Chain A
Amino acid sequence: MILPAMRLRGALNALRRTPLRALVGVAMLSGVFIGVLAATRRGVRFLEDYPGIGSISGAVEQRSLEALFTVLMVAVAFSVLTGAIATLYDSSDLPFLLSLPVSAARVFGLKVVETYVNSALLPALFTLPVLVGLGIERDAPPGYYLIAVAALLALYALPVAAGALAALVLMRVAPAGRAKEVATGASVALAAALVLGMRALRPERLSNLTPEQFDQALARFAAWHVGWLPSAWGSSAVWRALRGEVSPAALLLAVVSVALLAGVARVAALAYRAGWFRALDAAGKPGVVGALPAARWEAPLARLGPAGGMIVKDLRLLARDPSQWSQLLVLAALAGVYFISTASLAAQMQTFRDLVGALNLMFLGFLMAGVGIRTAFPLVSLEGEGFWLLRTAPLRARQVVLAKFWGALPVMVLLGGGLGVAVAGRLGVSPVLAVASPIAGVCAGIAATGLGVGLGAAFPRFDATSPAEVPLSTGGLLYMALGLAYAALATLLFAYPSYRTLRAPGSFHWSSVEGLAVLGAVGVLTLLWTVLPLLFGSARLARYESGVG
């Protein structure tokens, strides 16, 4: 018990050091708990009261719980792959722990628990209010809550064990020093594919069903039971507990989970001692010896001077750092979801198509603001602790900021403009909106890049361990507020041509005085949102002192 007590003490000390953060965290968790609890209770009541649902309401609820378990288990499986490598096999305290007079199996047992907590705690906390809500609505006996929580914990142990074993295999077969990159890439690609796949199913089609068709779909869903799936064991255990019974599935789940976790700890201990983790060691086969010339693609950028040199360096780091390119995969999925969602709204009536097209002008601004916080905002902070190299070089802060801006701009403009063209084309909007859509996308891309790079430079976080961590700051909040303000103002400017097009098609032309005025105003707005943050960021970065504040 010494090792877990040590970990607990460390966690408590960390909480004590940042009490405000702990309070905010507890408040947020409480909010989520109360919200999910209320939603679950309302959902259960809705199903119970659904006309004509009769005896299948329980089966529908059980299948819904199984679906929730399955989705969250998949989420745990995705996150545990990288988490297991970092926590179970590559943590910095492992050599220290193994030097203690404690058996290796115990040390790895602790590491398995840590992996479980890191990967499955949040999904478990999210599922808890669902189970509590179900128990309250179905007047469950007190023992239900105990069994339900045990089933929940046991259920998420399965993907943790499977992910930890998969990570072990990966570290043997992945190219030397690339286990973490491969794991991150696989996790993000699978998650992006899952999100895109689920969106491609277009669940909104359910709203098009007639009441009879919906009843039939509900009955088919209630009868859909795959008994061999662990999620079915979990839901079966919960359902029997609602009636005050202990299901054999609950016992099976508990035994399998504990055995798997213990087995993983044992296997990890053996593998560690046997030096199994070939792909974890950074040193691989000896590389090419001798003077390797610069790649051909570097030449045109290198001619741009220091800015080109920085862009080349950033591109190389982007290609090799999974925490950076995984962000791009997430963005690709986000853009894909946006395109599929908007395209699915295509209708016969031109007026309706134009209405959606007008809304698209607004959403493009919001979307690009969301993209910018993941791509443009972290760029300066990604220099990390190597920032001293730029700081001691004969460079102005403005040059650094502009190099980041020019590096990110093509991607953002292509994404914004590309989505603008694609969505307008897929919707078949009127010519006025077909012109407005790519303009809105490109302008939003430029503004989000300027705003992101500028505010990212003004509020750098060189100590962040990943790009996703960088926006969690005052600067990130300011970016989101200003990014949304840009989207709102651009929407207002595009509202006039949209209104004219909807009201009297063909009455508005971009080449008219009013059309040029709208374009000019959008241009000025974009320029302001781009240049001012870049100037502000340059000035703040010039005053930045390493190791201070």
Chain B
Amino acid sequence: MIDVRLLVKSYGRVRAVDGVSFGVQEGEVVALLGPNGAGKSTTIKAVTGLLRPSGGTVSVGGHGLEREPLAAKAMLGYVPDRPYLYQKLTGRELLRFLARLRGVAEGEAKADAWLEHFDLQRSANELIETYSHGMRQKLTFAAALLHDPPALVIDEPMVGLDPRAAHDVRRLMRQRADDGGAVLLTTHSMEVAEAVSDRVLLLHHGRIVASGSMTELRQKVGVDDATLEAIFLQLTEEAARGAAA
């Protein structure tokens, strides 16, 4: 569903992403992990069309983001790490606007359903500027899911969410994949990544240094019961040592 090939993104002489290739299939949750500055957000932004790759290709559902951007974007739902929304719209007005923008059939009914799903119906007619960070994050999820996209891209999904909402979002990501969707997420929470993802990609200095399922990663580090956190620490240290050498 999501296909990234030899993705390069440079800022002047700095290569934030350096030849990254991966795919996210239908029915799969893939977690993109890495230390700060590894290139996770840059990769995500290139996948959603917010950044133009310096090299390589990105396609969604077989539609190249460069050649068929509208078809590719129509298949994507995106939740950014910082949920900047129009402060002076109400939650309901925002979803109504996005439904019109994306030509969603029965947009009103779908907006109501997602508002209810995220327990936002009581504040749906309030201005977004009155929402807490967690409420904005939930509204952003509703906005990303409104058009029922087959591919979901999520940057730091749990920031600001209360335990109940975090649990719901975790379940939702798994459910989307089980229903045949593709989910790509970045997170610093090893617990979330371990709980929901089928595969993990470990990014370091703009390159993928390890990828695979939890079993494959445990085999790679040679510890059968290693947690994802332990694997992450070991592999990033190895990558840092390799880069220094």
Contacts and interface: CB of A to CB of B under 8 A. Distances in A.
A481 to B, nearest CB: 30
A392 B101 contact: no
A12 interface: no
B54 to A, nearest CB: 11
Contacts, number: 110
Interface in B137-158: 143
A393 to B, nearest CB: 5
A293 interface: yes
Interface string A117-128: 000000000000
Contacts of B90: 287
B188 interface: no
A306 B104 CA distance: 11
Interface in A301-316: 302, 305-306, 308-310, 312-313, 316
B125 interface: yes
A177 B130 contact: yes
Contact of A546 (B50, B71, B92, B121): B50
B114 interface: no
Contacts of B45: 546-547
A179 B121 CA distance: 26
A291 interface: yes
A293 B108 contact: yes
B101 A310 contact: yes
Given A392-B48, A394-B71, A320 B103 contact: no
B88 A321 contact: yes
B76 interface: yes
B112 interface: yes
A113 to B, nearest CB: 29
A289 B125 contact: yes
A317 B108 contact: no
Contacts of A394: 69-71, 73-74, 102
Contact of A282 (B74, B103, B127, B143): B127
Contacts of A291: 92, 108, 112, 124
Given A287-B126, A308-B100, A391-B50, A317 B85 contact: no
A393 B101 contact: yes
A273 interface: no
A284 B121 CA distance: 17
B39 to A, nearest CB: 14
Nearest to A387: B84
B98 interface: yes
B96 interface: yes
B26 interface: no
Contacts of A548: 11, 51
Q: Is the interface of A mostly helix, strand, loop or mixed?
A: loop
A274 interface: no
B49 A320 contact: no
A336 interface: no
Interface residues of B, number: 43
A389 B85 CA distance: 8
B218 interface: no
Contacts of A316: 88-89, 93
Contact of B103 (A177, A305, A391, A392): A305
A393 B102 contact: yes
Given A305-B103, A312-B100, A395-B70, A317 B86 contact: yes
B52 interface: yes
Contacts of B80: 388
A396 B103 CA distance: 14
A313 B86 contact: yes
B78 interface: yes
Nearest to A291: B112
Nearest to A543: B52
Contacts of A389: 85-86, 98, 101, 143
B129 interface: yes
Contacts of A395: 70, 73, 101
A309 B97 contact: yes
B73 A392 contact: yes
A504 interface: no
B164 interface: no
A317 B88 contact: yes
B122 interface: yes
A282 B122 CA distance: 16
A396 B126 contact: no
Contacts of B130: 177, 282-284
Contacts of B126: 287
B101 A306 contact: yes
Interface in A95-146: none
A387 to B, nearest CB: 8
Nearest to B86: A386
Contacts of A229: none
Contacts of B76: 392
A294 interface: yes
Nearest to A397: B69
Given A309-B101, A310-B101, A313-B97, A392 B88 contact: no
Nearest to A318: B88
5 contacts: A290-B121, A306-B102, A310-B97, A388-B78, A390-B101
Query: Which 7 residue pairs spanning A and B have beta carbons closest together?
Result: A309-B100, A385-B84, A320-B88, A394-B74, A394-B70, A394-B73, A282-B130
Interface of B: 11, 45, 48-52, 69-71, 73-74, 76, 78, 80, 82, 84-86, 88-90, 92-93, 96-98, 100-103, 108, 112, 121-127, 129-130, 143
